[in-house]
Amino acid sequence: MSEQTIHFLTTRDGVRLAYALAGSGPPLVKAPNWLSHLEYEWQSSVWRHWFEFLTRRNRLLRFDQRGNGLSDWTERLAFEYMVQDLADVVDAAGFERFPVIGLSQGAAVAVEYAVRNPHRVSHLILYGGYAQGWARRGDAEQQREGRTLVETIRIGWGADNPAFRQLWASLFIPDATEEQSHWFADLMRRTTPPEIAARLLEAFGTIDVTARLPEVRVPTLVLHVRNDARCPYEQGRVLAAGIPGASFVTLEGRNHIILENQQEWPRLCSAVAHFLGHESATPEPPRAAAAVALGELTTRELQILRLVAAGASNLQISGKLFISEKTVRNHLTSIFDKLSVSSRAQAIVFARDVGL
């Protein structure tokens, strides 16, 4: 994966924001989601495959929204600031026209920005997003849950007991490995203090861009996990139904953030790549060349590749084959090298192409 460079700017209301650039090619802008830390998440087991994919053919711009990460931990967190900050960051980066990808609450920010700047946005990609925050959906149960989570943050976010932060990991990535869950919990501890985290969640609850959806005038792709444990599937349908001509893709699973070892990850990559006009998310190897590469694998490496293609994590593979996770990682490094692939997602596609 390419290296990133981190820069800073000062917004029109005096807040310092951190933004990062990575990759080469046409520009691509990612609106911020729940919490981020440009440095810490760059190498994480939860986000690394996303950034690898998004920088494969594009110059990716992402930033820490105000209140978290390397940006100022201000308490001025209203939705209007979120949209203004996106505008300030793309201007600072010198981007003129670009696709915008919005995850979670970033979807609503991307929608509002696209409506205000139709000449700047070429495509919209909305993943796991919502048009209405938890306090605007008219659902008493979701409102009660939202208020409870806000208070849970205020009470337990900074406590020594990690159980409070593990609760959030279970909401975002319930099917994650233990390592991934711990990383996600640690991200939240590093990213922002309890009061700002609570105020962010309150601000997200008040979002409502349903009236703006019919005004979107750019090609739009909406993707949503059917049993998303954090953002209701219905909200993905609201986005797709409200935006003229939008395409809707349902992904299977429960994780709000699709992980690299999930079977739906290659499908997500393929849908996004096709939407952006790329031939394929992962180049298909010629059948003869693939057979030669496959023949270079040892018996153990073939076993591991089959398990990877079936969606097994490193921990699950180590348990099935009675080897350590470190040994699994070493084998994967060898497999990637022999197959000339650079990620788990590419290895899965390769395996399926050759019939494993």
Write out pLDDT tens, residues 306-349: 898 888 889 889 888 889 988 989 988 898 888 888 778 778 87
Q: What is the CATH number of the domain that holds 244?
A: 3.40.50.1820
Mean pLDDT score of the chain: 90
Is there a domain that residue 40 lies in? yes
Is there a domain that residue 346 lies in? yes
Is there a domain that residue 334 lies in? yes
For residue range 262-271, what is the model confidence (pLDDT) as tens digits? 989 999 999 9
Is there a domain that residue 168 lies in? no
Are 337 and 231 contained in the same domain? Answer: no
Is there a domain that residue 337 lies in? yes
Are 124 and 259 contained in the same domain? Answer: yes
Is there a domain that residue 111 lies in? yes
Does the model's pTM come out above 0.85?
Answer: no
d(CA 101, CA 218): 13
Are 38 and 125 contained in the same domain? Answer: yes
165-174: b (≥16 Cβ within 10 Å) or e: beebbebbbb
For residue range 109-120, what is the model confidence (pLDDT) as tens digits? 999 999 999 999
Is there a domain that residue 114 lies in? yes
For residue range 203-238, what is the model confidence (pLDDT) as tens digits? 999 999 999 999 999 999 999 999 998 999 999 999
Are 131 and 27 contained in the same domain? Answer: yes
Domains contained in the chain, number: 2
Are 13 and 105 contained in the same domain? Answer: yes
Are 214 and 319 contained in the same domain? Answer: no
Picking from 275, 297, 323, the residue at the C-terminal end of a domain is 275
pLDDT for 288: 54
pLDDT for 279: 58
Are 291 and 265 contained in the same domain? Answer: no
Query: Whole domain around residue 303: which residue ranges?
Result: 287-353
Length of the chain: 356
Is there a domain that residue 245 lies in? yes
pLDDT for 302: 87
Structure tokens at 340: 């000339």
Q: What is the CATH number of the domain that holds 305?
A: 1.10.10.10
How far out from the chain centre does Cα 250 lie? 16
d(CA 351, CA 312): 13
Are 269 and 316 contained in the same domain? Answer: no
For residue range 53-66, what is the model confidence (pLDDT) as tens digits? 999 999 999 999 99
Are 246 and 109 contained in the same domain? Answer: yes
